[in-house]
């Protein structure tokens, strides 16, 4: 398939491009920019006039619910939703059922994703067996035979710090990045909301800021001792960002992502027990939200993730604390990121980098760029089109989003995966 994308504004932060260019694609790769290759005859011409052409989005943190929870969603349904949101690569956590602590489970996920054909899925292997924090997983086997690109203990704590240290040393030995959820389970104490005035008023058990910051401090010390490359997932506190800023100043190999919803919502959005806002880590204070935005602006926060967690309707109908935490977020990742540029938190090119080239760099994968010779994973969107987040039009099986009814600006019109169209609006 040979494709000519003409007349669009090409933004490719990895290659420093932000201007109107024509893109030529053949055999799944970008073969030229502006200059028509000799003998090139397009099978398809995409008119991208008045639209923006960017690399396909790379999402660092999504749960697809398969295997194990197919009543909530499947790999096919969620990768299709990802394509509708311009996402071409998804990174999934190891806390599936069964857990990704054997190559077979990882291979199954890759196989199902290839069968569906909407997006590329990469897997994190379990840091410890069954994520129980007691025995190290076979990381080399997960990487070599299962194709896992990094390891994580997902949301499960490692209570034994000696096991934690050994796990980090083992991962460092294989040059594997460890994805870390910074949380002290004793301080969290099964809370469900940020510990503060709102949780007190609602009578909800709170999760103090220290549950995250104490864990960040401990993790940084172990990272320094072991020399492992680490990535902190979906941080929520301004003080956490300050600690990691200092650690990076001291040249520790750490990176950070923040979930898009943490940049727009606070504890105030819990209102009167709005279970759509039940997330882990919890929505924090206005000061924390401002701190996260400042971290993005300064470059301390490397990436923005969806933290996608689709649920069935029943999962959000119980009393607040008993509902399942998480937001369905694949289709709002791009417009929420674009809004940061409108609000001058970042330039448009910097915002695009946080969801394309930066997460690709953290994962160590090809992607997130559209130079000549790069794989033709492409997202084309209309920056002016306004649309409303609607229960009936979300492609994800999960409709659990607090952004229902929000007006978004910027809508994906077409997504290409390795030069093949996997999504086209209104089709």
Q: List, for residues 4-31, the tens digit of each pLDDT value.
A: 999 999 999 999 999 999 999 999 999 9
Query: How far is residue 137's CA from residue 128's CA, in Å, rounded to a whole number?
Result: 5
CA 395 to chain centre: 17
Q: What is the mean pLDDT of residues 325-329?
A: 98
Give 150-205 pLDDT, tens digit per residue. Answer: 999 999 999 899 999 999 999 999 999 999 999 999 999 999 999 999 999 999 99
Q: What is the pLDDT of residues 287-310, one digit of tens each?
A: 999 999 999 999 999 999 999 999
Q: What is the pLDDT of residues 395-426, one digit of tens each?
A: 999 999 999 999 999 999 999 999 999 999 98
pLDDT tens-place string over residues 30-69 = 999 999 999 999 999 999 999 999 999 999 999 999 999 9
What pLDDT, on the 0 to 100 scale, is given for residue 34? 95
For the sheet containing 177-180, what is the strand order? 57-62, 87-92, 120-126, 150-152, 177-180, 230-232, 254-259, 303-305
pLDDT in tens, 70-83: 999 999 999 999 99
Q: What are phi and psi of 260, to 5 degrees?
A: -60, -35
Picking from 138, 182, 122, the residue whose alpha carbon sits closest to that of residue 156 is 182
Question: pLDDT over 70 for what percent of the chain?
Answer: 100
The whole-angstrom separation of Cα 312 and Cα 77 is: 13
- Rounded to the nearest integer, the mean pLDDT of the chain is 97
Query: Given pLDDT bands bounded at 50, 70 and 90, which one contains residue 379?
Result: very high
**Which secondary structure element, helix H or strand E, spans residue 32, and what is its range?**
strand 29-33
Structure tokens at 344: 């001058």
């Amino acid at each position: 398939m040979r494709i000519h994308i003409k007349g669009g504004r090409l933004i490719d932060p990895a290659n420093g491009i932000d201007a109107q260019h024509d893109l030529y694609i053949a055999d799944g790769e970008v073969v030229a920019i502006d200059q028509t290759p000799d003998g090139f005859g397009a099978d398809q011409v995409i008119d991208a006039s008045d639209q923006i052409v960017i690399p396909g989005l790379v999402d660092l943190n999504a749960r697809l619910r398969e295997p194990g929870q197919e009543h909530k969603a499947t790999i096919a349904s969620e990768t299709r939703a990802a394509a509708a949101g311009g996402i071409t690569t998804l990174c999934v956590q190891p806390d599936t059922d069964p857990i990704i602590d054997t190559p077979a489970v990882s291979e199954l996920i890759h196989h199902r994703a290839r069968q569906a054909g909407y997006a590329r899925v990469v897997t994190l292997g379990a840091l410890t067996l069954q994520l129980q924090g007691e025995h190290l997983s076979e990381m080399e086997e997960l990487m070599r035979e299962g194709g896992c690109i990094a390891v994580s203990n997902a949301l499960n704590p490692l209570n034994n710090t000696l096991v934690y240290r050994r796990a980090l040393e083992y991962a460092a030995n294989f040059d594997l990045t460890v994805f870390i959820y910074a949380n002290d389970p004793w301080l969290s104490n099964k809370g469900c909301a940020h510990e503060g005035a709102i949780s007190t008023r609602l009578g909800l058990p709170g999760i103090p800021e220290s549950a995250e910051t104490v864990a960040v401090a401990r993790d940084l010390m172990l990272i320094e001792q072991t020399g492992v490359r680490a990535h902190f997932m979906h941080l929520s506190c301004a003080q956490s960002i300050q600690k990691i800023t200092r650690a990076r100043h001291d040249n520790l190999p750490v990176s950070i992502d923040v979930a898009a919803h943490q940049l727009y919502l606070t504890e105030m959005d819990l209102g009167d027990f709005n279970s759509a806002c039940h997330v882990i880590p919890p929505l924090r204070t206005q000061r924390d939200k401002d701190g996260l935005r400042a971290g993005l602006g300064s470059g301390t926060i490397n990436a923005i993730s969806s933290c996608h967690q689709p649920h069935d309707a029943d999962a959000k109908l119980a009393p607040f604390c008993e509902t399942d935490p998480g937001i369905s977020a694949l289709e709002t990742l791009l417009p929420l990121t674009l809004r940061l540029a409108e609000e001058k938190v970042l330039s448009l090119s910097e915002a695009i980098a946080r969801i394309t080239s930066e997460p690709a760099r953290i994962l160590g994968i090809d992607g997130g760029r559209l130079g000549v010779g790069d794989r033709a994973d492409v997202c084309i969107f209309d920056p002016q089109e306004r649309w409303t987040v609607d229960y009936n039009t979300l492609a994800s099986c999960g409709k659990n989003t607090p952004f229902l009814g929000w007006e978004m600006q910027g809508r994906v019109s077409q997504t290409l995966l390795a030069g093949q169209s996997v999504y086209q609006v209104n089709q």
